[in-house]
Amino acid sequence: MSENRIQLAHGSGGQLSRELIEGLFLEYFGNPILDELEDAAVFHPPNSLRRGLETGDLQLAVSTDSYVITPPFFSGGDIGKLAVCGTVNDLAMRGAQPLYMSVGFILEEGLPLRDLERIVRSMAQIAAQVGLEIVAGDTKVVNRGGADRIFINTAGIGLVPAGVELSARKVEVGDAVLVSGTLGDHGMAIMIQREGLAFESELKSDCAPLNGLVAQLLAAAPRTHCLRDPTRGGLATALNEIARQAGLGIEIQEMSIPVRNEVRAACELLGLDPLYVANEGKLVAAVAADGAPLAMAAMRDHPLGKEAAIIGSVTEEHPGRVVVRTPLGVRRILDMLVGEQLPRIC
Amino acid sequence: MSENRIQLAHGSGGQLSRELIEGLFLEYFGNPILDELEDAAVFHPPNSLRRGLETGDLQLAVSTDSYVITPPFFSGGDIGKLAVCGTVNDLAMRGAQPLYMSVGFILEEGLPLRDLERIVRSMAQIAAQVGLEIVAGDTKVVNRGGADRIFINTAGIGLVPAGVELSARKVEVGDAVLVSGTLGDHGMAIMIQREGLAFESELKSDCAPLNGLVAQLLAAAPRTHCLRDPTRGGLATALNEIARQAGLGIEIQEMSIPVRNEVRAACELLGLDPLYVANEGKLVAAVAADGAPLAMAAMRDHPLGKEAAIIGSVTEEHPGRVVVRTPLGVRRILDMLVGEQLPRIC
């Protein structure tokens, strides 16, 4: 039965999401811009409308995301903060300066207005902080039971400075693979809250806007080739996407991957793998090997990159595959997420 | 109780929508671009990122909308066609050429894949027809009962040609007020289907992309000052918005407003006023009086404007108000929509 119906895993960011994207969306919507499947689309506006303009400089970046997280308020943020950070981060992963955003609210009849106000206030705060202007909006209300409290959709528009080109296609053999900090904080903070687990130290979502960190990274290491934010599907899925799109292999050292003790403990308890858990304030970078030390220094010098780490490198071997080397020296393949462990995590 | 909670009328496009926009969204998100409250935002990208460009020409237009219509398939279209047409039309109302679109799907677990495919196919058809490229997408799946089948959010990006400026602020005393065709077709087609009413001739949604009609209109009547598509809240709400933002009055002749007999009959049966019923393939225009005959000819020459009509004019009297003159010569004030008659009509 479920074969011909939408399953939760179609929204996981993993294998079934990919099948839906490739088998349906690209089939009907495909074009050279969309087909790249990066965090944000980057393209030049068409020549016909830029009569007399020197056009080499101007590249638009566009991204969109819907946010359906439950609960809408969580330790370290809320659905509004998440929506703005997610939009900023998708643009930042292409090196774009985030400039404009549209916001669409789908509200369930009966939602307390004070909840909506709290969410709107936190959106406004992050937007002001990163210099993002909300230029267009829409609100729909559905009957009680027709939606779960609040969904937010955003589209982000940014401009990519001349000379900046970040893409999985730029990744090269020998590139160092870096992460900007500990993994799994967002997903496990939500899960701990949902499951009512008590841990001694309160784990918070890492939800944060990464545009400042990216600017600092690109200034220090201009040969940064590709950035991704490992949201749904976690680090494992982001690395698999890069490997697949680059047509190269990635090998990472399990010992080098920073994971908080609370995240590790909660994952063990719930039977989850932190490498598949969503992050909302972290990035993965592929940087030319000789630029890696400067990239590390630049990230660690930023409040959001203090726990940055080099976790592996890009290889010619096993193209399209990600391999993890364990502390005992065993190599295992790290697949894309299959199924859905954490529905409605973002 | 309901005072402090979201009501269906907050999404009606009418009075309560306006209160939410002015009292909450503009309060927190307000900026000169958003504050205009037109169908799409129009603005220049910031100078800092356009080094060496002749910038006078390039204006971006951005709009967003969420679609939550029930049922998702209806006579004359489906939620996918509606989403693309709605996006195209919001951009076209500012004179923008629709170029790019983002699409966010929120799907309920269990949605038949063939329904999704049918919707995606119809989006692709309209997008191809108007030359719109879908450049970014996102899919979220929520648990059964967490959403009603399918919601779609789109953001549209267009470019406004040099010299084109359509806005309620441009409206002048004496402007003719035109509509491009019969009113209320979309809303009543949905209502007839929902209520299971049988009428002899099948009424269809007017859902259609208006960019071609607008191009023809602007070529013939360059002194077209303002365009709006009377969706949620209908003609009455669109006219009230124009009057309010222009700081002028509008007077319309009830007899001149084209309404199909089936729409009139269904409205009578259901106790609705066709002037408040949503349209998805119609526009209202304020055109300099001497250009009105050419505007009419241009619209009637287009398949989507065959029943265009001049319905009234802009007045210095009763600024911010819309007045209807009935066949008996009685003048009554036509208010914005209060409450919500037709939830989830788009």
Read off the pLDDT band of A200 (50, 70, 90): low
pLDDT at A51 (0 to 100):
47
Q: Helix, strand, coil proportions of chain B in percent (round to 5)?
A: 35, 25, 40
- For B:50-89, CB contacts with A below 8 A are 50-55, 57-58, 60, 62-68, 70
Q: Write down the mean pLDDT value for chain A.
A: 93
**B184: phi > 0 → left, psi -120 to 50 → alpha, else beta; which?**
left
Question: From A346, which residue of chain B is nearest by alpha-carbon distance?
Answer: B140
Residue pLDDT, tens place only, A310-339: 999 999 999 999 999 999 999 999 999 888
Domain end call among B160, B195, B223:
B160
What ipTM does this complex have? 0.95
Token pair for A231: 């949201």
Considering only CB atoms, A157 lies closest to which of B29, B62, B139, namely B62
User: Is B108 contained in some domain?
Assistant: yes
Do the Cβ atoms of B31 and A113 come within 8 Å? no
CA–CA separation, A33 and A211 (whole Å): 22
A248-273: buried (b, 16+ CB within 10 Å) or exposed (e) per residue? bbbbbbbeebbbbebbebbbeeeebe
Question: Does B152 share its domain with B190?
Answer: no
Question: Does B23 share its domain with B78?
Answer: no
Question: Does B109 share its domain with B242?
Answer: no
Residue pLDDT, tens place only, A55-109: 456 789 999 999 999 999 999 999 999 999 999 999 999 999 999 999 999 999 9
Considering only CB atoms, A99 lies closest to which of B21, B46, B344, namely B46
Higher pLDDT, residue A1 or B33: B33
Q: How many CB atoms lie within 10 A of CB B3?
A: 6
Question: Does B319 share its domain with B279?
Answer: yes
A21-37: buried (b, 16+ CB within 10 Å) or exposed (e) per residue? beebbeebbeeebbebb
- For B:307-346, CB contacts with A below 8 A are 343-344
Token pair for A272: 């989850």
Question: Does A19 share its domain with A141?
Answer: no
Question: Does B116 share its domain with B186?
Answer: no
Q: Is A119 on the interface with B (CB under 8 A)?
A: no
Domain end call among B160, B176, B196:
B160
Considering only CB atoms, B148 lies closest to which of A28, A142, A344, namely A142
CATH number of the domain bearing residue A47: 3.30.1330.10
pLDDT at A45 (0 to 100):
75
User: Is A216 contained in some domain?
Assistant: yes
Do the Cβ atoms of A147 and B143 come within 8 Å? no
CA–CA separation, A67 and A312 (whole Å): 31
Question: Does A195 share its domain with A325?
Answer: yes
User: Could you tell me the pTM of the whole model?
Assistant: 0.96
Sign of torsion, CA B263 B266 B268 B271? negative
Choose, out of B3, B140, B150, B340, the residue to mutate when testing the contact with A (most A CBs < 10 Å): B140
User: Is A346 contained in some domain?
Assistant: no
CA A20 to chain centre: 19
pLDDT at B53 (0 to 100):
44
Residue B108 C-alpha, separation from nearest chain A C-alpha, in angstroms: 7
How many domains is chain B partitioned into structurally? 3
Considering only CB atoms, B66 lies closest to which of A104, A123, A135, namely A104
Do the Cβ atoms of A31 and B123 come within 8 Å? no
Residue pLDDT, tens place only, A144-180: 999 999 999 999 999 998 889 999 999 999 999 999 9
Domain end call among B107, B130, B160:
B160
Q: Based on the number of CB atoms within 10 Å of its own CB, is A328 exposed (0-12), middle (13-18) or buried (19 or more)? A: exposed
Sign of torsion, CA A138 A139 A145 A150? positive
Do the Cβ atoms of B141 and A11 come within 8 Å? yes
pLDDT at B54 (0 to 100):
46
pLDDT at B1 (0 to 100):
41
Return the CA Rg of chain B.
Answer: 20
Contact B99, B133 (CB under 8 A): yes
> Under DSSP, is residue B198 helix (H, G, I), strand (E, B) or coil?
coil
CA–CA separation, A120 and A135 (whole Å): 14
Do the Cβ atoms of B10 and A139 come within 8 Å? yes
User: Is A125 contained in some domain?
Assistant: yes
Residue B95 sits in which domain range?
Answer: 40-160
Question: Does A74 share its domain with A152?
Answer: yes
Question: Does B205 share its domain with B91?
Answer: no
Read off the pLDDT band of A53 (50, 70, 90): very low
Sign of torsion, CA A281 A201 A341 A256? positive
CATH number of the domain bearing residue B319: 3.90.650.10
Q: Which of B59, B129, B131, B78 is nearest to B101 (CA)?
A: B131
User: Is A93 contained in some domain?
Assistant: yes
Read off the pLDDT band of A236 (50, 70, 90): very high
Do the Cβ atoms of A113 and B54 come within 8 Å? no
- pLDDT tens digit at each of 346 positions of chain B: 457 999 999 999 999 999 999 999 999 999 999 999 999 999 887 765 554 444 456 789 999 999 999 999 999 999 999 999 999 999 999 999 999 999 999 999 999 999 999 999 999 999 999 999 999 999 999 999 999 999 999 999 999 988 899 999 999 999 999 999 999 999 999 999 998 887 666 899 999 999 999 999 999 999 999 999 999 999 999 999 999 999 999 999 999 999 999 999 999 999 999 999 999 999 999 999 999 999 999 999 999 999 999 999 999 999 999 999 999 999 999 999 888 888 999 9
- Is the per-residue pLDDT at A115 higher than 60? yes
Considering only CB atoms, A155 lies closest to which of B9, B102, B161, namely B102
- Is the per-residue pLDDT at A118 higher than 90? yes
- Which residues have C-beta within 8 Å of that of residue A176, sequence separation ≥ 6? A286, A287, A288, A289, A291, A292, A295, A310, A312, A313
Question: Does B19 share its domain with B71?
Answer: no
Question: Does A92 share its domain with A230?
Answer: no
User: Is B251 contained in some domain?
Assistant: yes
Contact B71, B346 (CB under 8 A): no
pLDDT at B44 (0 to 100):
83
Question: Could you tell me which residues are beta bridge partners of residue B136?
Answer: B102
pLDDT at A1 (0 to 100):
41
Question: Does A244 share its domain with A322?
Answer: yes
User: Is A345 contained in some domain?
Assistant: no
Q: Which of B136, B137, B62 is nearest to B98 (CA)?
A: B62
User: Is B338 contained in some domain?
Assistant: no
> Under DSSP, is residue B185 helix (H, G, I), strand (E, B) or coil?
helix
- For B:86-115, CB contacts with A below 8 A are 97, 99-100, 102-114
Do the Cβ atoms of B60 and A157 come within 8 Å? yes
